[in-house]
């Protein structure tokens, strides 16, 4: 049976009431919403209402209550002022994107020192019902606000695995480790789909995105070990930003390390970027990871990186993301 995180069910909001006036209206609120046909749970210190009841509750709140002493939260996270709840409700469109799987997979080539295609990175692009695209930052922000990050991440991962069947090359697939609470439960569908499609696990490289925001390194190690046990490889991005010590990197043992584009673009003439790039290269060699420079746009930067020992490269110089794989 799918876990709750996989299903895009109606959101349930917890409502906290403070102040004598608001607390005195507690039973009145329950009676009012019940009469209006909305589900409400008043068995705890706070009220629980479904998203369909939010507008009705807000109307009651504005007319009869002290709004400064009304709070809400989702999934037992931090309490927020009730005035912010409409912002969450306005992002309901993300639920439709996930339910209807409105995702399109693009690929961008990763080349070796001879500019031969070594692999592809699969990038997710999202569409509305009318076919227009939604910016990735907008979609992931909405998913975070509505607690849909795991469902979105899973949808993208599964679409990328399916798309990899036509690539017939090593495939880099992004995933957000903070969205995964248990690899055995959250990632088994990825493993099953790869097996079903008959794709060699060694073809996949799962890339940790938002490396600099990973606080629980032990949890990340659990996820990466699960992938490793299943025969997959993995990569870390933004290594210079997210991982402070060589000991930590050695502990994670990534197969690939990606140098962020902000240190790549202009590296051929910027001494500070050269310093970071060489330090990164030294770290990669120490732990046996393959160094990959992303965001390469000029021949000068490519030649500098190649001349100093980088092995893999990605960027507009070699190809932009496209629906049809570049051959």
What pLDDT is recorded for position 223?
Answer: 86
Is 324 inside a domain boundary?
no
Confidence band of 188 (pLDDT split at 50, 70, 90): confident
Q: What is the 3-state secondary structure (H, E, C) of the chain?
A: CCCCCCCCCCCEEEEEECCHHHHHCHHHHHHHHHHCCCCEECCCCCEEEEHHHHHHHHHHHHHHCCHHHEEEECCCCCCEEHHHHHHHHHHHHHHHHHHCCCEEEEEEEEECCCCCEEEEEEEEEEECCCCCEECHHHHHHHHHHCCCHHHHHHHHHHHHHHHHHHHCCEEEEEECHHHCCCHHHHCHHHHHHHHHCCCCHHHEEEEECCHHHCCCHHHHHHHHHHHHHCCCEEEECCHHHHCCCHHHHHHHCCCEEEECHHHHCCCCCCHHHHHHHHHHHHHHHHHCCEEEEECCCCHHHHHHHHHCCCCEEECCCCCCCECCCCC
With 60 as the cut, is the pLDDT of residue 44 above it? yes
pLDDT > 70 in the chain, percent = 92
With 70 as the cut, is the pLDDT of residue 275 above it? yes
53-81 pLDDT, tens digit each: 999 999 999 999 999 999 999 988 899 99
Looking at the fold, whether 141 and 85 belong to one and the same domain comes out as no
Confidence band of 90 (pLDDT split at 50, 70, 90): very high
Domain that holds residue 27: 12-92
CATH code (residue 167): 3.20.20.450
Looking at the fold, whether 106 and 199 belong to one and the same domain comes out as yes
User: Is this structure's pTM higher than 0.75?
Assistant: yes
Identify the domain boundary among 63, 92, 121.
Answer: 92
Looking at the fold, whether 52 and 182 belong to one and the same domain comes out as no
With 80 as the cut, is the pLDDT of residue 242 above it? no
With 80 as the cut, is the pLDDT of residue 186 above it? no
With 50 as the cut, is the pLDDT of residue 294 above it? yes
Identify the domain boundary among 39, 71, 92.
Answer: 92
Looking at the fold, whether 174 and 302 belong to one and the same domain comes out as yes
Looking at the fold, whether 22 and 153 belong to one and the same domain comes out as no
For the chain, the domain total comes to: 2
What pLDDT is recorded for position 220?
Answer: 84
Identify the domain boundary among 92, 119, 146.
Answer: 92
Looking at the fold, whether 27 and 163 belong to one and the same domain comes out as no
Looking at the fold, whether 286 and 228 belong to one and the same domain comes out as yes
Looking at the fold, whether 160 and 229 belong to one and the same domain comes out as yes
Is 1 inside a domain boundary?
no
Is 34 inside a domain boundary?
yes
Is 305 inside a domain boundary?
yes
With 50 as the cut, is the pLDDT of residue 181 above it? yes
Confidence band of 212 (pLDDT split at 50, 70, 90): very low
Is 289 inside a domain boundary?
yes
Looking at the fold, whether 48 and 27 belong to one and the same domain comes out as yes
Looking at the fold, whether 75 and 179 belong to one and the same domain comes out as no
């Amino acid at each position: 049976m799918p876990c709750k995180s996989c299903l895009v069910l109606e959101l349930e909001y917890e409502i906290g009431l403070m102040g004598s006036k608001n607390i005195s209206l507690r039973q009145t609120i329950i009676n009012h919403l019940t009469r209006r046909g909305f589900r409400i749970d008043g068995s705890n210190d706070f009220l629980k209402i479904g998203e369909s009841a939010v507008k009705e509750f807000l109307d009651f709140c504005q007319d009869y209550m002290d709004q400064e002493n009304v709070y809400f939260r989702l999934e037992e996270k931090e309490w927020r002022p009730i005035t912010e709840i409409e912002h969450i409700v306005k992002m309901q469109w993300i639920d439709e994107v996930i339910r209807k799987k409105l995702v399109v997979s693009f690929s961008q080539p990763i080349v070796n020192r001879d500019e031969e295609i070594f692999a592809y990175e699969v990038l997710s692009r999202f569409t509305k019902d009318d076919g227009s695209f939604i910016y990735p930052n907008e979609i992931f922000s909405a998913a975070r606000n509505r607690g849909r990050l795991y469902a979105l991440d899973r949808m993208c991962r599964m679409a990328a695995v399916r798309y990899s069947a036509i690539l017939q090359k090593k495939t880099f697939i992004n995933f957000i480790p903070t969205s995964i609470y248990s690899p055995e439960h959250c990632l088994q569908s990825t493993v099953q789909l790869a097996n079903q499609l008959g794709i060699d696990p060694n073809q996949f490289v799962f890339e940790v995105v938002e490396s600099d925001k990973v606080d629980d390194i032990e949890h990340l190690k659990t996820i990466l070990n699960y992938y490793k046990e299943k025969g997959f490889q993995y990569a870390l991005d933004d290594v210079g930003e997210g991982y402070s010590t060589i000991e930590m990197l050695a502990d994670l043992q990534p197969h690939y390390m990606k140098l962020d584009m902000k240190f790549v673009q202009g590296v051929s003439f910027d001494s500070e970027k050269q310093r970071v790039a060489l330090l990164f290269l030294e770290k990669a060699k120490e732990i046996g990871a393959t160094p990959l420079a992303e965001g390469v746009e000029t021949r000068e930067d490519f030649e500098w990186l190649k001349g100093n020992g980088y092995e893999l490269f990605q960027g507009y110089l070699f190809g932009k993301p496209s629906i049809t794989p570049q051959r």
